[in-house]
Structure 1
Amino acid sequence: MSVSIQQNQFAVLDNGTRLHYASAGDVGKPLILFVHGFPEFWGEWSAQLPEFGQDHFAVAPDLRGFNLSDMPAELGAYKARHIVDDLRLLIQQLGYQKAVVVAHDWGGAVCWNMAIALPEMIEKLIIINSPHPYLFMQALLNDPAQRAASEYMNWLRQPGSEEALGKNDFALMDGFFNGMGQGEAHWFDADTRAAYHACWARGLSGGVNYYRASPLHPPTANHQGPQQLALNPDDFRVRVPTRVIWGENDKALPKSLLNGMEDFVPDLRITRIAEGSHWVIHEQPERINGLIRQYLSE
């Protein structure tokens, strides 16, 4: 039997950030941390928290800049190292030394970095449609199709993108879920739409600042993007057991981003969902839960 979700919980971290989180299950059971992406919030995991709260302490935070968590004004506050630090401190404040981490989209980008920098804090890493950072950098530099698929990132980086996203009752935001899926998103019903609109109404600048603060975007005449980076691939090895779920009908992050991942992640398993879009978590929640269960038992 599933357990209920507890909302409106807050942690004030040692770095001063105030994070909101929802949870299911009991403190003291193994910690499983669910980390959302853009343009989402903890509610992305509403089908996972009750399921995994049965035998874990399942926690889904709102990342800084999203929903009910702090939204710093400074652009530099959204660099990946600060988001990683938030998760590190949250795990510790919850009374744990490590966690199973499940992450999607921008949450995945952050948690790839966390696994690289702090492998001792991650028992297992489960990534859903979020590319390994080095492979993504290479694709942005060398793959014209990936550059074209990622052009939206440069639009989001522009001043005023948050105002454009909010126009006409968040019409463009709704289009992310419908347009990037397989037509009309069956899961984006009236209640779900209302919950997301309430989240977005609290502010969109934090979410788009993730794009503005990151060098990983297609190069432009005014910004070199990843061309300015001199990165050593050896610094991007992931030394924790990693499982990747990929909806292959992802318009922004095509399945080609999986190529070469095994070179960076020795303990890796990839599950491909041919018909799944970027929003496969919502489209097939029971299947996603089943795959997470399978990974936890390995």
Structure 2
Amino acid sequence: MLKSSLRRIYLSTDVELDCCVIGDPSNQPIIFLHGFPESHRTWRHQLLALSENYYCIAPDQRGYRGSSKPTDVNAYTADQLTADVFALADALDVENFTIAGHDWGGAIAWSVALNGQAGGLSPQWAGRVTRAMIANAPHPCIYQRAIVNDPIQRASAQYIRFFRDSASDAIIAKGGLLPLLQRVWGWQKPEAMDAYEYGELLAGWEDRDAAVAMLNWYRASNITVPLIGAAADVPKWAAGAFPKLNIPTLLVWAMEDKALSPSNIEGIEELVPNIHIERVANCGHFVTWEKPDAVIAALEKFLA
């Protein structure tokens, strides 16, 4: 069903995105953003469950799969990825929406929410985002602080330094993304992913241009990752006062995530006063399909 719902959508940001659009357009819209190294299918269980009552929109984001893949690293800065989301809403005649994101999609969802909440950072978008739902994607300010101050999180983030290294491109040129992930993470087929979905994932990783574009998200990011044990200060943008996100926000957090320490949710209430945290035990990073029922239940309760 999800394959038949894919549409090619041209955005005013001069990119084209393949987008899963499912549900009645008269219902409340939700825009779902996937993370690295996946696609809109990250949300496959939630899309099918929620589309009965909501208008569900899930793009393959810039650089992924069949969507546009600009070659310039600077085409993947957070402001441009954020603009894609509002441009997608415009293209589908959606004014106000709930934003949802996992992993890198969650990072952009934080940005979309901060810019699009009532009184948000960007006047042209302010008031368009009514709620936010984030799955295993840390608040950018807290994440940057944790990378500097939490030795566990700093160690877990070292892969970012490798992704930013041009040596990664040579590995991709020979074999696509899979050999790189095997080298960095010892990647193997996840037990919770069936053979069909894994085949879909691997097929997307074969595209060398897409693989490099995925890494460009990391290369364009302003997140600083010091070497393990190196003296470092929290960058100025994350060290001081940071704008609060005031809209209702759900944070689903899988507690066995090896890449993201639970320290990323400590003190988040100060930055997101209207937050509900749903902790998912015995689950790794890919919570949307490792524990789909838990995520669906949390989303349905939050949306209700």
Q: TM-score, normalised by structure 1?
A: 0.89
Residue number in structure 2 paired with 1:198? 203
Distance 2:183 2:243 in 1: 34
In structure 2, distance between residues paired with 1:196 and 1:85 = 26
Matched residue, 1:261: 268
Match of 1:91 in 2: 89
Instruction: Give the CA deviation at 1:266.
Output: 0.9
The residue number in structure 2 matching 1:235 is: 242
Taking structure 1 as reference, are residues 4 and 36 closer, same or farther at Cα in structure 2, changes over 3 Å only? closer
Of the three residues 41, 48, 51, the one matched with 1:50 is: 48
For the aligned residues, what is the CA RMSD?
Answer: 2.5
What is the one-letter code of the residue matched to 1:75? V
CA distance in 2 between counterparts of 1:280 and 1:177 reads 18
Question: 1-side partners of 2:7 and 2:136: how far apart?
Answer: 28
Q: 1:113 aligns with which of 111, 114, 120?
A: 111
Picking from 138, 150, 154, the partner of 2:157 is: 150
The 8 Å contact of residues 7 and 19 in structure 2, kept in 1 or not, is answered as yes
Contact 1:216 1:225 in 2 (8 A): no
From 49, 58, 61, give the equivalent of 1:60: 58
* Closer, same or farther: CA 67–4 of 1 in aligned 2, 3 Å: closer
Q: Which amino acid is the alignment partner of residue 200 of structure 1?
A: W
> How far off its partner does 1:104 sit?
0.4
Matched, 1:208 2:219: no
What TM-score do you get using the length of structure 2 for normalisation? Answer: 0.88
Equivalent-residue separation in structure 2 for 1:175 and 1:288 (angstroms)? 30
Contact 1:157 1:211 (C-alpha < 8 Å) held by counterparts: yes
Residues 120-177 of structure 1: CA distance to partner in whole angstroms, max 9, x if unpaired? 2222101100100111111122222211110001011111314425756724546889
CA distance in 2 between counterparts of 1:268 and 1:28 reads 27
Q: Match of 1:282, as an amino acid?
A: W
Q: How many angstroms apart in 2 are the aligned matches of 1:268 and 1:116?
A: 14
Structure 2, gaps ≥5 residues long: 118-126
Relative to structure 1, the CA distance from residue 174 to residue 7 in structure 2 (aligned partners, 3 Å threshold; closer, same or farther) is: farther
The unaligned stretches of length 5 or more in structure 1 are none
Q: Distance in 1 between matches of 2:223 and 2:15?
A: 25
Aligned residues of 2:141 and 2:242 also touching (Cα < 8 A) = no
- Name the structure 2 match of 1:290: 297
Question: Counterpart of 1:251?
Answer: 258
How many residues are aligned here?
291
Measured at CA, do residues 16 and 295 of structure 1 come closer, stay the same or move farther in structure 2, by a change above 3 Å?
same
- Tell me if structure 1 keeps the 8 A contact 2:62–2:68: yes
Distance (Å, rounded) in 2 between the aligned partners of 1:98 and 1:63: 20
SS at the partner of 1:103? strand
Q: 1:167 to 1:253 in 2, by over 3 A?
A: farther
Matches of 2:211 and 2:220, distance apart in 1 = 14
Q: Aligned-pair distance for 1:239?
A: 1.7
Alignment of 1:64-75 (within 5 A): 64-75=62-73
The aligned amino acid for 1:125 is A
Alignment deviations for residues 67-116 of structure 1 (CA, whole Å, 9 cap, x no partner): 11111111111000000000011112111112111110001111111111
